[in-house]
Amino acid sequence: MFQGETAITVDDKGRLTIPTAHREQVAEACGNRLVITYNPFESGCLFLYPETEWERVRDQVNALPTTLSAHRRLQRTLVGSAAHVELDGSGRISVPASHRSAVGIEKKAVLLGMGDKFELWSEQAHHAQIRQTVGDDDLSPQMMELRL
């Protein structure tokens, strides 16, 4: 289970280092094989799945009927843009240039452990998300029941 926030530096070749605290979990969960794809719900963010978790998500998304345009958009965004990446001996992965460019990741990024996956945010988009507060209109019935 991944959790925590880490400031990440992306080098000139588009590589970033997975934090040491997560490397053992990544190795155990998926043999250092990850899948990177776009977050279909928020801009400025990529999803980074362990390969086995990705296969579950991919199969669910691909099972949606393609007769609805929203399903096709989700399939294109998640499955069509998915790229397999593998940690090298230094614990780095290469994020495709197209993915970095689309979400505005340059030199600085933020990696968030979100349980079953990571979110990789551009530093600017992450800061904007933090500054947003949850308004009354945003609260779902499930959120109202939480005891935080």
What is the domain count for the chain?
1
- Report the phi/psi class of residue 141: left, alpha or beta, with left for phi > 0 and alpha for psi in -120 to 50: alpha
Tens-of-pLDDT digits for all 148 residues of the chain?
Answer: 899 999 999 999 999 999 999 999 999 999 999 999 999 999 899 999 999 999 999 999 999 999 999 999 999 999 999 999 999 999 999 999 999 999 999 999 999 999 999 999 999 999 998 888 777 677 888 988 988 7
Sign of CA dihedral 56, 57, 61, 64: positive
**Do 62 and 54 meet the contact criterion of CB atoms below 8 Å apart?**
no
CB-CB contact of 86 with 34 (8 Å): yes
pLDDT tens digits, 8-42: 999 999 999 999 999 999 999 999 999 999 999 99
Domain boundaries, position 137: 2-144
Concatenate the DSSP letters of all residues of the chain into one string: -EEEEEEEE--TTSEEEPPHHHHHHHHHHHTTEEEEEE-SSSTTEEEEEEHHHHHHHHHHHHTS-TTSHHHHHHHIIIIIT-EEEE--TTSEEEPPHHHHHHHT--SEEEEEEEESSEEEEEHHHHHHHHH----GGG--HHHHT---
pLDDT at 34: 98
